[in-house]
Amino acid sequence: MSRKSNHTGLKAVLILLILVLLAGSILMVKLSLDLAGAPVETKPSASVIELPTASEAETVPETEPTTVPTEPEPEKIIATATISSQGDLLMHSPVFNSCKQADGTYDFESIFRYTKDTLASVDYSVANLETTFGGPNHPHVNNKSFSCPDELAADAKEAGYDMLLTANNHSGDTTGEGLIRTLEVTRAAGLETLGSQMPGEKRYSIVEIYGIRIGMVAYTWSCKATDKDFSLNGLLPIADEGQMNYFTNANPQKLYTEAEQIMADMNAEGVDATMMFIHWGNEYEIRENRIQREIAQKLCDLGFDVIVGGHAHVVQPMALLESTVDPEHKTVCIYSLGNAVSNQRTGVSDLFPAGYTEDGVIFNVSFEKYSDGNVYLSSVEVIPTWVNMHTNNGSREYNILPLKEHEIGQWDADFGLQNNQHASAKKSYERTMGILNEGLQQVQDYLNQQATQRTAYYENLAKGILPAQTETTEPPATEADAA
């Protein structure tokens, strides 16, 4: 009996122990599950600094950016046009015969050899054609009827000329037929003509350079004229069909009337500036005469900006003219450019003042266009020239030499001067500048002053500072006015 009851108690203890272990296991499993679901706390690394993002940062109120007001820029120069004018291509027979080739043709390259680069540096170049292209029907007659080989036209174009003036006292030397033929030959070479025209054509030209429109007119003195015909050089009269721009000293009103109408027509076509080329005065006089001054003043009053004169075969002075109609308007005038090339040399004739007929001028005027559309005469330059007649390999040559003072040390090398030629060139330079200096300085001072005032005006205008206006008051009314 007693052994049975002992076994029963042991079993009970084992059962109880098993239940306790089972309950403990269940509890441990539950705790493990709870810990697995809880968030794990982490610690940032000490070497990393986390900055707040834009969304986390404190919002800063936005402010308008500070703007510095800028002043508008003044009007500026947008284009420049430089016109070069040269005196007489006075083609005496010794001059063109020096250019005759073995095959009977003519090559005028030697005449323009040293001016070619100078002409290439400007925008537009003009010279006076003091002869005609009369052709086979009209041979050259010394000191009476000038007619030149046609090759001159093409060679002048090659040398850099753009326009030839065909209004001078020799333009009718080969009659009306030669007058028209001269136009045809010149234009066929690619050159423009001015001063004579085909019947019915305009009496003027408008040359446009870089958007600057320059109206050009040319007139010549005539020996005599009637209502029906004219004679430029005292030869046979030519029927007047409107093909030549001319006037007589006895009737300058014809020039004024026609020039006034031409000016109105050019303005109607929108020109920005105007130039008058005029053949006038007395030959071989180094000062202008009274008639030239009177005509120049009238052309200034009509509004021309530049007057370029010729015919004297010597250089004549330059002047700055003031309009009697509009005191604000001034005109630059050079009374004579002298000869570009000729055989008029010291010792050839007693009529020629020693050396002066060998001298000439390349006369450059420049116009500037501003961004507001206004155009102004901005500068004037003169380059004296001298005709060096010499023998080259047994043949005579006539070279036009541009005498630039700053290059005087190079003249010998550049122009191949020998013996006393350098001294002659220097004397020519001094003669020309002695005639031009006073007027040239006056013109340049005025243009420089105008440029300074123009710059100040545009700068003030950009700042909104308007030019001061002069107050005007009306005079008290009189009894007659009241009535």
The number of CA neighbours under 13 Å toward the Cβ of 291 is 15
- Least confident segment among 63-67, 414-418, 442-446, 468-472: 468-472
Percent of the chain with pLDDT over 70: 82
State the pLDDT at residue 469.
52
Q: Which of 23-32, 72-81, 166-175, 448-457 has the lowest mean pLDDT?
A: 23-32
The predicted structure's pLDDT at residue 26: 58
Residue 344 neighbours by CB distance under 10 Å: 22
Residue type, 268: A
Give the Cα separation of 140 and 312 in Å (integer): 22
- Checking if the pLDDT of 106 tops 60, the result is yes
In this structure, are residues 214 and 275 in contact, taking their beta carbons and an 8 Å threshold?
yes
Domains of the chain: residue spans and CATH: 77-462 (3.60.21.10)
Q: Taking 70 as the threshold, does the pLDDT of residue 30 lie above it?
A: no
Q: Which residues contact 359 (CB under 8 A, 6 or more apart)?
A: 314, 315, 338, 339, 384, 385, 386, 428, 431, 432
Model pLDDT, residue 143: 86
Q: Which structure tokens are listed for 433?
A: 């500048």
Per-residue pLDDT of 107-156, as tens digits, reads 999 999 999 999 999 999 999 999 999 999 999 999 889 999 999 999 99
Residue range 23-38: mean pLDDT, rounded: 51
Predicted pLDDT at 147: 98
What pLDDT sits at residue 480?
36
Which pLDDT does position 461 carry in this prediction? Answer: 92
Q: Taking all residues of the chain, what is their mean pLDDT, rounded to a whole number?
A: 88
Residues 230, 240: contact at Cβ < 8 Å? Answer: yes
| 256 token code pair | 């004024």
pTM surpassing 0.75? yes
* Tokens 């002992």, located at residue: 6
Amino acid at 220: T
Q: Quick check: 36 pLDDT over 90?
A: no
| Per-residue pLDDT at 199 exceeds 90 | yes
pLDDT digits (tens, 9 = 90+) for 380-407: 999 999 999 999 888 899 999 999 999 9
Which pair of structure tokens corresponds to residue 441?
């300085």
Where does the pLDDT of residue 72 fall: very low under 50, low under 70, confident under 90, or very high at 90 and above?
Answer: confident
User: In angstroms, rounded to a whole number, what is the distance separating the alpha carbons of residues 277 and 309?
Assistant: 6
